[in-house]
Structure formats: structure tokens, C-alpha cells
Amino acid sequence: MLAASKLAAGIAAAFALTGCIPPQMQSMGAAPLPAYHQPKSTPDGEKQITLSADAYGTFAASGFNVEQVNAGGGALSFEFHPAGAISPLFVNASVAGIAGTLQFGCNDVPCNFDGYNAWLDSKDGDEDYTFWNLQERIVAGAEFNLGSHLFLGAAGGIQFYQGGGDYESKRERLEDARLVENMDERADWRPTASLWFGPRLGESAGSLAIEYGVTFADKVKEWNTTLGISYFHPSGFHGTVYTNTNTSFAVSLGKSFQF
């Protein structure tokens, strides 16, 4: 413990003398919530209520200055399309949870701070750290049919998240030692927006959708993005392959119920 304290003190002193910019760290919950929009399947003008449940996970992925992300979780999403002329409009409320382990890494700029890299080479820097996050999101949007085989939609709203685990505690201590710069807290909120489009493959074949989402922070370099490709079967089963700022590659499988 004493040796680790001396190491941190020495690194902090080196930082003060060199003036280098430390690498940035952020909560794993700051990424857009992994609940992708399901294209409306009822005809224009009809009401549709959808409840979706999804399980998702990743293995040995990388993210914003983290690596070896092994995690899993689930999401619930409720969506309501009204009837009549305003049926393209909708509101969506979603909640998700994820937990897993990761290692600290150096894969995004600025990440040329010798003090942080020296810590990464230490025993402490090579360990796995646990994390967990809860995410809540509410958005409103609109989706339109482009002819009989294409659709296009967009939505915007607010996302909240809360996090904990060894990872959150460690990045706070690293910031106290001036080895990293944390971009957010354990709990925060961000405006969020998404855009999607794709083809309808027929009544018995379902649809494909490509969706791009973003959560906004105060600075452009703090924006988090996600990109997913989803397939939705008429039975309600669906799957998504996606990537986001905090996870280089992940998959999601779920089931939707319409009322």
C-alpha cells in the first residue's frame, strides 16, 4: 500500500511538471441505451402498443480507454402509437441494466500521458474491475412510410444513468491522483436522439432497420454514439448487432408483444 502511494505521488508530481493532458474516462452508462426502435407494424391510422424485452451482452470488447469488457444485461421498452392522423407519432419509455468486468486501457486520445501508462503497466493497472449501470430513457418521435417497403423515423428525449462497482471507485481515485480526467459522475443525465431507416421485407418476412443514436454532453468530444443493425420477425422475435462508444461489439436478442 505504501509503495502504491509513493508511485501515485511520483506520477502526480511528474504530471504537474510536464503539464501533459491525462486520458479521459467516463461511466459505462453514458452510452446510448441498448433498446432499438421496432418499426410500427400496424397500418397507418391504427393504434399500436408494444412491450419489448431484450437480453444483450459482449465478450472481450473495447471502448473509451477501457478493454476486455465482458458484460451482459437486459432492457425493457414500452412504446405507444396513437390512432388517427397522428399515428406516426409515438412515445417510448425504456429501462436497462448491465453488469460485468473490464480493464483500464489506452485506446483513445488524449492518451499519451506517461504517468497513466506507467500505472497501466503496474499490477494494479492490469487487474479486472467490476461495474454495473442502470439506464432510463424517455423519448418522443415520429416514423413515416416511404412507399410500401421503406420507413424512416427519428426520436429525441432524455436519458438518465446510475453506476457503481470497482471501476467507478478506481477512476475516481485515479482522478484524485491526477492520472485521468473523468468526463462525468457515477450518475448523470444527457439529452439523446436517434435516427433509423430500413426496408419492410413483407408481411411474413419482417423488416430490417439501421439505427444511429447519440447522447449529448457539454463538449463535442464527450458525445457518445451507437450504431445497430436489427432484424424484426413478424412473430415478435428480433435481434441486433451493434457497436457504441463504450462497447466495440455487442449482440441483443429479444421478443416484442403487441396490444
What letter does residue 190 receive in the DSSP assignment? E
Whether pLDDT at 5 is above 60 = no
Distance CA 153, CA 183 (A): 31
Number of domains within the chain? 1
Distance CA 42, CA 40 (A): 6
Question: What is the tens place of the pLDDT at every residue in 55-67?
Answer: 999 988 998 899 9
Mean pLDDT for 208-218 is 91
Q: Computed from CA positions of residues 173, 174, 177, 181, in that sequence, does the dihedral angle turn out positive or negative?
A: negative
Domain that holds residue 109: 2-258
Distance CA 138, CA 90 (A): 11
Whether pLDDT at 140 is above 90 = yes
Residue 253 and residue 54 in contact, taking contact as beta carbons nearer than 8 Å: yes
Q: Please confirm whether the linkage preceding 88 is cis (ω < 30° from 0).
A: no
| Enclosing H/E stretch for 117 | helix 114-120
Name which of 167, 180, 138, 156 is nearest 246 in CA terms: 167
Q: Facing residues of 100 across strands?
A: 71, 131
| Enclosing H/E stretch for 214 | strand 206-215
CATH code for position 11? 2.40.160.20
| Enclosing H/E stretch for 57 | strand 48-63
Reduced to 3 states (helix: H, G, I; strand: E, B; else coil), residue 67 is strand
Q: Facing residues of 133 across strands?
A: 98, 163
Question: What is the tens place of the pLDDT at every residue in 14-35?
Answer: 444 444 678 889 999 988 998 9
pTM score of the predicted model = 0.86
Exposure of 149 in the CB half-sphere (CA atoms within 13 A)? 3
